[in-house]
A and B are shown apart, each in its own frame.
Chain A
């Protein structure tokens, strides 16, 4: 089975850097994805790590270490609009499982 653990809440100030961790227990997966969801909005795709290492997209970076069963999302130069919930997700290797399994999400609050 799959289980993804994230902190429930993180608070940071504008301009700072914040790291949201995702630890997982899974029998195997294709890659680790991150999604952002503002209150009342749709989850939107942020990044995907198919291989170990760091992927950078503007102010956001994502990291995966399969040997450590660990990944994180790094947000730099925080802005107020980054206040949202962030979800990690994996697509399992299990035969017949085709859809993403999500963590419970981390609510990020950016303060002035």
Chain B
């Protein structure tokens, strides 16, 4: 069982919908991340939060909007997405951002945009 929980596990949405992905970590970590995983491509970093402050935004389109209300929760708000945004969205956490490279991932939210 992972210490990082993501909901929903699967989501299908139209291009005009608004939805949110949720991530919760139970590990006492203070850094959280959103990554995008598409077929046959490297995991792409989207956002980094450290102590609830966004410290990195990797040139992500504004139709993706992150929110970190506290160190245990991370959201990704989605609106007016495109079919090419269909992917697995992975949340991860770590003990700070300057660590030995160990991230703890959730199982992901599989997003399909019609």
Contact = CB atoms under 8 A, between A and B. Distances in A.
Interface string A1-26: 00010001000000000000000000
Contacts, number: 65
A102 B100 contact: no
Interface stretch (A43-51, A67-75, A76-84): A43-51
Interface string B23-61: 000000001010000001111010010100001100000
A10 to B, nearest CB: 15
Interface of A: 4, 8, 30-33, 35, 40-45, 48, 50, 87, 89-91, 96-105
Contact of B101 (A41, A42, A91): A91
A40 B98 CA distance: 28
28 contacts: A8-B40, A31-B100, A31-B101, A32-B101, A33-B100, A35-B103, A40-B107, A42-B2, A42-B107, A43-B103, A43-B105, A44-B105, A45-B101, A45-B102, A45-B103, A50-B100, A87-B42, A87-B43, A90-B101, A97-B56, A98-B31, A98-B55, A98-B98, A99-B48, A99-B97, A100-B101, A103-B42, A104-B40
A13 B97 CA distance: 38
A8 B39 CA distance: 12
B contact face: mostly helix, strand, loop, or mixed: loop
Interface of B: 2, 4, 31, 33, 40-43, 45, 48, 50, 55-56, 90, 97-98, 100-108
